[in-house]
Amino acid sequence: MLSLIECVPNFSEGNDLNIIKQITDQIESVEGVRLLNVDPGKATNRTVVTMVGEPNAVLEAAFRAIKKAGELIDMSKHKGEHPRMGATDVCPLIPIANISMEETAVFAQQLAKRVGEELNLPVYLYEAAQPKKERSNLSIIRTGEYEGFAKKILLPEWKPDFGPAIFDAKRGATVIGARDFLVAYNINLNTTSTRRANAVAFDIREAGRTKKENGKVVNDENGKPIVIPGSLKCVKAIGWYIEEYGIAQISINLTNINVTPVHIAFDEACKKADQRGLRVTGSELVGLIPLKAMTDAGKYFLRKQNRSTGVSEKELIKIAIKSMGLDELTPFKPEERIIEYMLADNQKKLIDMSLAAFADETASESPAPGGGSIAAYVGSLGISLATMVANLSSHKQGWDERWEEFSNWAEKGQEIKDQLLKLVDEDTHAFNKIMAAFGLPKSNDEEKFIRKQAIQEATKYAIEIPFKVMNLAFESLEIIRAMAVDGNPNSVSDAGVGALCARAAVMGAFMNVRINATGYDDKEYVNKMLAKGSEIENLAIRAEQEILKIVDGKIVN
C-alpha cells in the first residue's frame, strides 16, 4: 500500500507573493508530491505551506523549497509577529497513511542531514526526530529567535544536529522534525491589547503561567518558580496583535486534537475571555484541518442547542464554521481547507450528478450505472427518509426530553446513507474493473494466465460490493422500524416508503451478487455468499412486511 506523509514547512515571508511562488514552484516541480495549501500571513510575515506525497518525493520537494527560500529570503531584514529563527523556520513531517511515526522520524533525519551538509545550513531536529529529549521542544529550540541566535549557536549545548555551528546572517537556521498532526488556530478578540490576549492564552495553554504575588515570582521550597497550569492539555498559545486586522488574537497550536479538539479550545477561550471582560468574535484556521475535526465541532455545537446531530456532512461543516466564526476575517472554503477534500479524487462521480442527469445516464446505452448502483441509491433514499423522520421527531414541539434519542437514530442513519452513496459509484467501478480485465491481452499462455487472474479478482470484487449494499440496506430497516413505531406520527408514511426502498435495495443488490457469482470459480466461496445473501433477503422481506403493518395500523382513513 502507498505510504503518505505530509510536510508543512513554514517560510519567513508572507508579503511578497513572487517569492512565495518561486518557493512553491520548487515543490510542484517534484513528481509524486501534491501541493495542498499555501497560507501567507502579512502581519506574521510567514507562509505555511502544506504538501503531501510519498516519503522520498516529499523529501526532495522539501529540500528544493528550503534551498530556494535560503536564496530569496534575507533574515537580517525580516520582521514579523510570529517567533522565527530562519528563512525556512520549521519543516515538520507528519505520518498520514501506511507509515509509522518512527519511520517518519527517520525520513526527517535524512532530510535534516542533507540540508545541513549540502546547503551548509545549521539544522536542528525536533519532536520525534530528536533523540535528545531536552531539546526536542520547538519553542525551546527557538528561544531567543533569530536575533539571539548568533550567540546561542556558539554554546556547546546548542551545537546544531547537522550543518555548521556558525551563524548564517542571511538564512538563519532551520528546524526539521516529525510530529503528529497539528492544527494551527487563531482566536480573534475584541481588543487591541497583546497583554490581555496573552492573559487568556496563559489561562488555557497547558504550560500555564508562573505564579506571582505583588509582581514577584513565587518559588517553591526548592527555590523553583511555581507554575499554575492552564486549563487545556496539548495546547500551546500566545497572544499577539495583528495590524492587518486591527485586533489581538490568541495564537494556538493544538498538538493533539484527540485530547483537545478545536471546538473545545474555542469554547474555553470564550469562557476565559469573558471572565476577563473580553469577547471572542471569531477565529481563523492556519493551513489545513482534518474532516473529522470539523464534523465533530458541528455535532458539538448542535448538541449544545439540543439539536439533532444526524444531519449531512455539509451541514455539520457549515454549523462548525458559523459557530466558531471561521469566516469572520476571510471566507472559509471547505474544499480548500479540509485535508480529505484536498486529497479527494476529482474524477466525475455519479452521486455528484443532478437527479435528472443521473436518470439520463442510467437510461443511456451505457451498461453502467446498472442495477447494483441503482440498488445502492434506492437504499440510500430509504434510510434518508428514516433519517428525516428522526430529525423531525428530535425537533418536534413537546418532545424535548427525547431529542437525544432521535438524534442518535438520525446520526446512525446518516452514516448508513453516506456509505450507500459511496457504493453507488463503487458498484460502477467494480463493473469497469471486470471490463478492463476482459480487455487484457491473451496472445500467449502467460498473458492468458494474468488475464484470468485479473478477471477472477475483479469478479470477486463485483460480488463483494453489492453484498455490502445488502448488509447496509438491511441494517437500515432497524432505524426505519424505530421511526415507524416511535417517530413523529405525521411522518409514518415516510417510514413506510423507506421500508419499501430498503427491501428493494436488498433484493436488487442480491440479484447482482447472484449474477456476478456465476463467473467466479471458487464455488465454496460462492455457495457461502449465496447462502448468506438468501438469509438477509428473507429477513429483509419479513422486516418490511412488519413495518408496513405498523404503518398501515397508524394511517386512519
Per-residue pLDDT of the chain (557 residues; tens, 9 = 90+): 678 899 999 999 999 999 999 999 999 999 989 998 899 988 889 999 999 999 999 999 999 999 999 999 999 999 888 889 999 999 999 998 789 999 999 999 999 999 999 999 999 999 999 999 888 888 899 998 999 988 999 999 999 999 999 999 999 999 999 998 889 999 999 999 999 999 999 999 999 998 888 878 888 788 888 889 999 999 999 999 998 899 999 999 998 898 999 999 999 999 999 999 999 999 999 888 888 999 999 999 999 999 999 999 999 999 999 999 999 999 999 998 888 888 776 667 888 889 999 999 899 988 878 999 999 999 999 999 999 999 999 998 889 889 999 999 999 999 999 999 999 999 999 988 999 999 999 999 998 999 999 999 999 999 999 999 999 999 999 999 999 999 999 999 999 999 999 999 999 999 999 999 999 999 999 999 999 999 999 999 999 999 999 999 999 76
Q: 226 CB contacts (<8 Å, ≥6 apart)?
A: 210, 211, 218, 219, 220
Number of helices (H), then strands (E), belonging to the chain: the values are 17, 15
**What's the rounded Cα separation, in Å, for the pair 513 and 524?**
15
pLDDT value at residue 400: 84
Report the run of H or E that residue 460 belongs to, with start and end. Answer: helix 445-486
Residue range(s) occupied by CATH 3.30.990.10 in the chain: 4-178
**What Cα–Cα distance (Å) separates residue 324 from each residue in 236, 267, 298, 319, 438?**
19, 9, 10, 8, 53
| CA distance linking residue 91 with residue 112, whole number of Å | 9
Say what the pLDDT of residue 453 is.
93
Helix runs in 45-177, H state only: 55-72, 101-118, 138-141, 145-152
Catalytic residues: 82, 427
Measured in degrees and rounded to the nearest 5, phi and psi for residue 261 equal -70, 165
CATH 3.40.309.10 fits 4-178, yes or no: no
In our burial notation (b when 16+ CB lie closer than 10 A, e otherwise), range 240-266 reads bbbeebebbbbbbbbbebeebbbbbbb
Distance CA 502, CA 377 (A): 10
SS3 content of the chain, % helix, strand, coil (to 5): 55, 15, 30
| pTM of the full structure | 0.78
Residue with cell 537556521: 173
Amino acid present at 302 = L
Residue 254's pLDDT is what?
95
Fold adopted by 183-343: Alpha-Beta Plaits (3.30.70)
C-alpha torsion 436→441→447→450, nearest 10: 0
DSSP state of 369: S
CA distance 549 to 492: 11
pLDDT at position 557, please? Answer: 64
**Where exactly does CATH 3.30.70.670 map onto the chain?**
183-343
Dmax (CA) for the chain in angstroms is 91
> What would the DSSP string read from start to end of 294-308?
HHHHHHHHHHHTT--
Helices (H), 364-401: 371-394
Between CA 74 and CA 197 the distance in angstroms is 30
Dist. CA 127–CA 139, nearest whole Å: 11
Place of cell 487563531: 186
Crossing angle of helices 291-304/403-438, nearest 10°? Answer: 160
Residue by residue, DSSP assigns 488-540 as -GGGHHHHHHHHHHHHHHHHHHHHHHHHHHTT-S-HHHHHHHHHHHHHHHHHH
Residue 432: C-alpha distances to residues 341, 365, 366, 459 (Å): 24, 15, 11, 11
As annotated, the residues of the chain forming the CATH 1.20.120.680 domain(s) are 350-554
Q: Rg of the chain over CA atoms, in angstroms?
A: 29
Cα atoms in the 13 Å half-sphere on the side-chain side of 527? 3
Instruction: Give the pLDDT of residue 540.
Output: 97
Q: What fold does the segment set 350-554 form as a domain?
A: Four Helix Bundle (Hemerythrin (Met), subunit A) (1.20.120)
Query: Cβ distance 221 to 193 under 8 Å?
Result: no
